[in-house]
Structure 1
């Protein structure tokens, strides 16, 4: 007697796109049938974006030596 989530809770799928940073407009990533990752951006482009926008707490004390 299990019902689907839609029937039980009234969930509906929406076709809206998620909110993304304006620099990542057009970014698309997929995994093909052989398990390879296909992306519209290169790894270097993604790393540049992450370096500019994400704080890495592991590098916080890199300059300090005890």
Structure 2
């Protein structure tokens, strides 16, 4: 019995990351369809920083970042 080739399924992603793909070539270099700055901005907005979660001034830090934009 011959095996059927697997269809390449696109994973479910956040709507802001539609079209995001990462590849690693034979030299170990990582290439992406999004810039690192765009990925970092998304992560800053959507992922809680475990190092900062117990700080008392966390709300002030978040507000400061939003005002700078």
Regarding TM over 0.5, the answer is: yes
> CA offset at residue 15 of structure 1?
4.1
**TM-score (norm. length: structure 2):** 0.63
CA RMSD of aligned residues (A): 2.3
What per-residue deviation string (whole Å, max 9, x for no partner) do you get for residues 12-44 of structure 1? Answer: x56432211010001010001111000011111
**Which sections of structure 1, spanning at least 5 residues, go unmatched?**
1-12
- 1:31 paired to 2:24: yes
**Which sections of structure 2, spanning at least 5 residues, go unmatched?**
1-5, 59-69
- 1:1-66 aligned within 5 A: 15-62=8-55, 63=57
Structure with higher Rg: it is: 1
> CA offset at residue 60 of structure 1?
1.7
Count of aligned pairs between the two proteins = 54
